[in-house]
Structure 1
Amino acid sequence: MINTGTILVTQEILALIADIDEFKGAWRALGTLAPERLSALRRVATIESIGSSTRIEGSKLSDRDVERLLANLEIKSFATRDEQEVAGYAEVMELIFRAWEDITLTENHIKQLHRDLLAYSEKDAWHRGNYKTSSNSVAAFDEEGKQIGIVFETATPFDTSRLMTELVGWLTAEREQRRLHPLLVIAVFTVVFLEIHPFQDGNGRFSRILTTLLLLQAGYAYVPYSSLESVIEQSKEAYYLALRQTQGSIRSNAPDWQPWLGFFLRALQRQMKRLAGKVEREKLVLPKLPELSLRILDHAREHGRVSIGEIIALTGASRNTLKQQFRQLVEKGHLVRQGGGRTTWYTLP
């Protein structure tokens, strides 16, 4: 079983969590950002995430290469393994951003997402979507893509299925019982997933996709607009060191979670501060919107669409008041009206 009883919640960890959660709350001001600039932030962050996450695993494609590839993604024909990996990563990221609410983290869904991640990787066709059948270990690579050493040994194929069932069961229980802060749950899930290394290939990239999914499901709605993968790439040595220090003790009676928790939370803080800095630098804030308008935009961001009926049920506001709010949001470019009559709904631009 996963022993989280040895987690020591230090003052540093408490301060990091408080800082991240404060920004999580403040992100509701997103409703006051110019829609076209918001879209630009997300696009830049997506390119950075895809480029960084694949380079951590040895890809040589620059962010500019990734951007060019994404512009022609509909071609579905990719010349190199690096391009195949980028294409798969991009499609799964888009799926996560679009449908995170509907994805239950079961073993079957984990396998399906892994299959989609490697959908274009011809070399991986034989194993994608299935747990590993031969031993693998985590290697570190230099900037030229050369392997520079083994970071740590991983679970055996024989143990993988049992350990993954245990991990997913632990995640489900922790989410229900809420004994640990959600960020600590996500951190532990990620490091144990990487310690198991359940698939033959793609585990590193996949762990970062699962981290994004879990953060969105925990209410950290800003994550698509700032690249956590880019932060990790720029701290790659510290990333591998934290993994090695924690993973070596996970199966012991006294796991040392602190190295990984510290790295993970500091990376999330850097991700958050980068986004805060971008918003501040670009001066994207428009005149403050009413509280009711912010709640409407919050709902649209979280669910992909919003209707007057949903906001009546959520807030108890009158239909006439909401009609006025929705009309103003459409006029200012914050929402787009869809459908008509009783079936009218609204989406973000």
Structure 2
Amino acid sequence: MPINTASLVITPQMLSLIAEIDEFKGAWRALGTLAPDRLSALRRVATIESIGSSTRIEGSRLSDGDVERLLSNIEVRHFATRDEQEVAGYAEVMETIFASFDAMAPTENHIRQLHRDLLVHSSKDARHRGSYKTSTNHVSAFNADGKEIGIVFQTATPFDTPRLMAELVEWLNETLDQKQLHPLLVTAIFIVVFLEIHPFQDGNGRLSRVLTTLLLLRSGYAYVPYSSLESVIEASKEGYYLGLRRTQGTIRSDAPAWEPWIVYFLQSLRQQKTRLEAKLARERLMVERLPELALQILDLAKAHGRITNSQVVALTGANRNTVKKHLQLLVSARHLVQHGSGKATWYSRA
């Protein structure tokens, strides 16, 4: 059955989320005017977060620090564990996407190629990388220790997979070309159907997040490499699996329930851009050459909503008079607002 979007109702919530994301997309050209070295640093941090989060969602135990250390020695080309093999493959595929997204149309051949490259270092996957599955698979959820805690949903049969993938890719390209739906909605639907099919024996979750990045970049969301969507998903795994389960169980019905997954997906994209906005704000403050203690105070004010001199002293260990001078500096520069006076004084972000 071809992709059925007749039951899709674009709600006010969806429209509001899309408008907010697109507003940031349009503003990125002005917002992303940091020096090249700072943009490069932002992208590297986001890439490490993405690799770490995406592999941990699938059961890896490597921290972001482990990922960073591994990538700093990537030229070694020998990876002792499966977790390391998955990280290395994910890193290489992401760099391919960042460098060549405009030349990578979302065809079945490119999808299989990305899957092959994703698992290129995984010796266990040598027989099936780049090829659709030949055995039944299912989607499992993992706990913080990397142990499987249950099946999330059943997937398409190996027999049906080639036909379903051909239909999905054809729908994707036709819908994008004809501009029948907003590209964020197209991307969301493509990803949830891709995961419902689960076309490869392994690596489908990681590949779905790679394909998300590819489709977003091809749709003009140029800021995507600088903020990790994968880390947003990792932090909201319960909502991720719930959105998938509520939609995927209906995909082959006469009236698929697209809304649960689409809303989760759009909310995650909003959180991705919100995190990047915060990073850019901090970068601009650094350009103003504010002292490190002043930056710490601003972070505390954002985290706590309101702060006092005593709180800053307790949390930073800085001298009370030094903290007072920095607070006055930030108020004068209009980064903080002072409330009250004397011992009752407190501060909030401007």
TM-score, length basis structure 2: 0.81
> Any unmatched runs of 5+ in structure 2?
289-350
Give the structure, 1 or 2, with the largest relative contact order (CA under 8 Å, sep 6 or more). 1
Q: Does the 8 A contact of 1:32 with 1:285 survive in 2?
A: no
Counterpart amino acid of 2:98? F
The RMSD of aligned alpha carbons is 1.1
Q: Distance in 1 between matches of 2:17 and 2:67?
A: 32
Specify the SS of the correspondent of 1:224. Answer: helix
Residue 32 of structure 1: CA displacement?
Answer: 2.3
User: For 1:174 and 1:284, how far apart are their aligned partners in 2?
Assistant: 42
Matched position secondary structure for 2:276: helix
Counterparts of 1:284 and 1:45 in 2: how far apart (Å)? 20
Instruction: Give yes or no for the alignment of 1:142 onto 2:143.
Output: yes
The superposition leaves residues 63-107 of structure 1 with CA deviations (integer Å, 9 ceiling, x where unpaired) of: 000000000111100000000000000000000000001101111
List aligned pairs for 1:223-242, cutoff 5 A. 223-242=224-243
Question: Per the alignment, in what secondary structure is the counterpart of residue 49 of structure 1?
Answer: helix
Distance 2:181 2:204 in 1: 25
Match of 2:246 in 1: 245
Is residue 216–residue 224 contact of structure 2 (8 Å, CA) maintained in 1?
Answer: yes
Distance across 2 between alignment mates of 1:163 and 1:234: 31
Could you report, residue by residue, the CA deviation over 1:189-215 in whole angstroms, capped at 9, with x for unpaired residues? 000000000000000000000000000
> Separation in 2 of the partners of 1:11 and 1:157?
38
Letter in 1 for 2:23: E
1:31 Cα deviation after fit: 4.8
Aligned to 2:61: 60
**2:155 equivalent in structure 1:** 154
Partner of 2:90: 89
What is the CA–CA distance in structure 2 between the aligned matches of 1:99 and 1:257, rounded to whole Å? 31
Alpha-carbon displacement from aligned partner over 1:126-177 (angstroms, at most 9, x marks no partner): 1000000000000000000010000000000000000000000000110111
Where 2:199 maps in the other structure, the secondary structure is coil
State how far apart, in whole Å, the 1-side matches of 2:217 and 2:32 are.
17
Residue 14 of structure 1 aligns with which residue?
Answer: 15
Aligned to 2:292: none
* SS of alignment partner, residue 149 of structure 2: strand
Deviation at 1:29, TM superposition (A): 1.2
CA distance in 1, matches of 2:172, 2:70: 35
Identity %: 71
1:79 aligns with 2:80: yes
Instruction: Determine if the alignment matches structure 1 residue 119 to structure 2 residue 150.
Output: no
Mapped pair 1:212 → 2:186: no
Mapped contact 2:31–2:280 kept (Cα < 8 A): no
Q: Secondary structure at the match of 1:158?
A: coil
TM superposition score normalised by structure 1? 0.81
The answer on 1:42 being equivalent to 2:43 is: yes
Per-residue CA shift, 1:218-260, capped at 9, x if unaligned?
A: 0000000000000000000110010000000000000000000
Distance 2:82 2:138 in 1: 20
Stretch moving more, 104-113 or 262-271:
104-113
The aligned amino acid for 1:68 is: R
Classify the secondary structure of the residue corresponding to 1:157: coil
| 3-state secondary structure, aligned to 2:215 | helix
2:133 and 2:20 map into 1 onto residues whose CA distance is: 38
Residue in structure 1 matched with residue 339 of structure 2 by the alignment: none
Q: Deviations over 1:30-89 (max 9, x none)?
A: 452122211111000000000000000000000000000000111100000000000000
Deviation by residue 1:243-286 (Cα, 9 ceiling, x = unmatched): 00000000000000000000000000000000001111231697
After superposition, residues 123-134 of structure 1 pair within 5 angstroms as 123-134=124-135
Runs of 5+ in structure 1 lacking a partner? 288-349
**Structure 2 CA distance for partners of 1:163 and 1:284, relative to 1, 3 Å:** farther
Greater mean deviation of Cα atoms: 138-147 or 100-109: 100-109
Partners of 1:165 and 1:34 in 2: how far apart? 43
CA contact (8 A) 2:50 2:228 kept: yes
Output one character per residue of 1:277-308: Cα deviation in whole Å (capped at 9) or x when no partner. 11112316979xxxxxxxxxxxxxxxxxxxxx
For residues 226 and 219 of structure 1, the distance between their equivalents in structure 2, rounded to whole angstroms, comes to 15
Check the 8 A contact 1:136/1:154 in 2, yes or no.
yes
Deviations, residues 280-338 of structure 1 (Å, cap 9, x unaligned)? 12316979xxxxxxxxxxxxxxxxxxxxxxxxxxxxxxxxxxxxxxxxxxxxxxxxxxx
Residue matched to 1:313 = none
Distance in 2 (alpha carbons) for counterparts of 1:5 and 1:29:
38
* Contact preservation (8 Å) 1:13, 1:265: yes
Q: Secondary structure at the match of 1:253?
A: coil
The residue aligned with 2:310 is none
Structure (1 or 2) with the larger CA radius of gyration: 2
Partner Cα separation in structure 2 for residue 276 and residue 226 of structure 1: 9
Contact 1:33 1:284 in 2 (8 A): no
